[in-house]
Structure 1
Amino acid sequence: MTPTASSPLDVLDLDIRRTGETTAEIAFTLVPELIYFDGHFPGQPILPGVSQAHLAVLLAERVWGGWPSSATISRLKFRRVLAPGDVVVLELRHYPSTGGLSFVFKLNGSPASQGDVGDLA
């Protein structure tokens, strides 16, 4: 029997709300146990940008059952640092015709970061 690999999502209490055929909102608290905080940075942990994109992809797979068309990340914008204890709402938009994904992490209703994964056009 092969052991099942754990997912970074396993430590998160996710409130997934599919808001349309191609849109979803997912609310959760960034818990200190989230693996992405390891080593980033001791004494003052933050959620790295590439980890935010990875979380968006993992959550899109959970909502729609598939991955983006490519690992290309574009139009990344970071406005606020995300840290343990932050309550975030992740807005996702899936583009079925191209396999692309757009994401926005929000803190208190304001964008903290956003970007695209895969091809949107």
Structure 2
Amino acid sequence: MITSTLPTIISFASTDDSATWRLDIAADLNYFNGHFPEQPVLPGVTQLDWAIKLGCNHFGYNVNVATLEVLKFQQLMLPGTQVELVISHNPAKQKLTFAYSEGDKRFASGRIALNSDVSATAVNN
């Protein structure tokens, strides 16, 4: 995993099998530095890191990624935006499915297959 900090979480809601975070992608995040000078863009690796950290923490998994599946980056995530991150989990397959979006605009999505077992107690954000 990369060393990163999470963005500001504006709101959070969850059900048994999914969780939704509203995130503020502030223009002053360090991840925009040098990526790219003419038009700052939030790196895909940062988006993936946030999904892994938030999903594993909420659903009680150890951060131990086996593989990434159907990973797609459809739109550029620019500074000064707010997005929703929805993560659902399939405990039988030890997989998290995530999607970043804002209305009809989809930024990124994919599945994260994990090596670890889900723990008995998930941590709520």
Please tell me the TM-score bracket, short chain as reference. 0.7 to 0.9
Alignment partners' CA distance in 2, 1:32 and 1:24: 25
Q: Which structure is higher in strand share?
A: 2
Question: Share of identical aligned residues, percent?
Answer: 30
TM-score relative to the length of structure 2: 0.76
Please identify runs of 4+ aligned residues in structure 1 that moved more than 6 A.
Answer: none
Report how far residue 54 of structure 1 moved.
Answer: 0.8
User: Contact 1:106–1:112 (CA<8 Å) still a contact in 2?
Assistant: yes
Residue-by-residue CA offset, 1:55-101 (whole Å, 9 max, x unaligned) = 10111133223246524112112221001111100110111122211
Alignment partners' CA distance in 2, 1:111 and 1:12: 20
Alignment partners' CA distance in 1, 2:68 and 2:79: 24
Change (3 A) 1:22 1:69: farther
TM-score relative to the length of structure 1: 0.78
1:83 maps to a residue whose letter is L
Alignment partners' CA distance in 1, 2:48 and 2:64: 14
Structure 1 segment 63-74 matched on structure 2, within 5 A: 63-67=58-62, 70-74=65-69
1:8 maps to a residue whose letter is T
RMSD: 2.1
